[in-house]
Amino acid sequence: MNAAYNGRNIAAYFADEWQITPDLRIDAGFRVENQNVDATLENVDFGVDLDGDPNTLFNNNAAILNGSFRTIDFDETETSWTVGANYNLTQDMSVFARINNGQKFPQFDNLRDGVDNIQKIDQYELGFKASTDMVSVFATLFYNDFTGLPDQRFIDGENVIIISGSNAIGVEGEFVVRPFDGLSLALTGTWQDADFDGNSSNAGNRVQRQPKLQLRFTPTYDIELPWGYATLYGTFTHVGDRFSDPENQQVLDSYQKLDAGIMMDVDNWTFQVTADNLTDSHGLTEGNPRVLGAQTGTAIFARPILGRSFRFSLSYNF
């Protein structure tokens, strides 16, 4: 790449909240934003054999700058808004709701690839929260809808952008129990069904890298010692199966991971030991979504979770 960009964003926004009754609070916000981008880029020739010899594979099918230039001139204005409400059922419980409408301007790289569309996002939430000395509950039912999503592919050596949309419905929650002083048991999780929609060839497929179910269980125990305080903690994580690609042919299997640690405060000293992935479990967070279809061969491109590791730290507070 040989490119020079000038970008400018100017925005104005307003937000406020109103206490309608002692139990009902409403808030709202509005934002208008302009993005202006000017750029000059040198053009690229793809599929070049640098020495004309098909047997020297290292320099075949190369991409090179060709000395000609093109320009980008992008200037768009969009608005976003949100409205939310919270109602107290009791001193310890409340329900809430929110509607958001937003946008995302294209980045420099999107404009370079000829993708100047603006992504649109609509989000809806309805939830319940409660908190007492022994129990805390937080649950949210959500729905979101995205349009104008750019997706990059390399097809026959060419960079191809596919524009699609998606929608998701799900519920996320957090449940914390404190049975006695010092002990906290927290369970958090999200279930969602996220699919592509619109005119894309992938309509009806699951959105890549989005598991239907994620769970995390985190116990924490605080101990008061004669010489200070200690905190024992751990986290068990479950990530459900996913697809790495919008075509839903690159399967990423579910995996579990166990972490643990201890932190001690003695006078002004803090000592901490953290163990990540104690069981040395295997898992992939993403594959190679720029490849169409399933990855084949004995070796593939993928990003794994890290293996078992330990971290020690010692600090002094002045």
Contacts of 148 (CB under 8 A, 6+ apart): 117, 118, 119, 120, 163, 165
What band does 202 get if pLDDT is binned at 50, 70 and 90? confident
Looking at per-residue confidence, does 273 or 47 come out higher? 273
Looking at per-residue confidence, does 268 or 239 come out higher? 239
pLDDT for position 127:
98
What are the start-end ranges of the H helices in the chain? 108-112
Indicate if the pLDDT at residue 198 is higher than 80: no
Dihedral sign for Cα 47, 48, 50, 55, please. positive
Looking at per-residue confidence, does 300 or 271 come out higher? 271
What band does 157 get if pLDDT is binned at 50, 70 and 90? low
Task: Tell which residue, 80, 146, 82, has the closest CA to residue 119.
Answer: 146
Domains, the chain, ordered by start: 132-316 (2.40.170.20)
% of the chain at pLDDT higher than 70? 98
pLDDT for position 16:
98
What average pLDDT does this structure show over 101-122?
92
What average pLDDT does this structure show over 234-239?
97
pLDDT for position 246:
86
Mean pLDDT of the chain: 92
If phi > 0 it is left, if psi is from -120 to 50 it is alpha, else beta; for residue 55 that is alpha
pLDDT for position 277:
97
pLDDT for position 119:
94
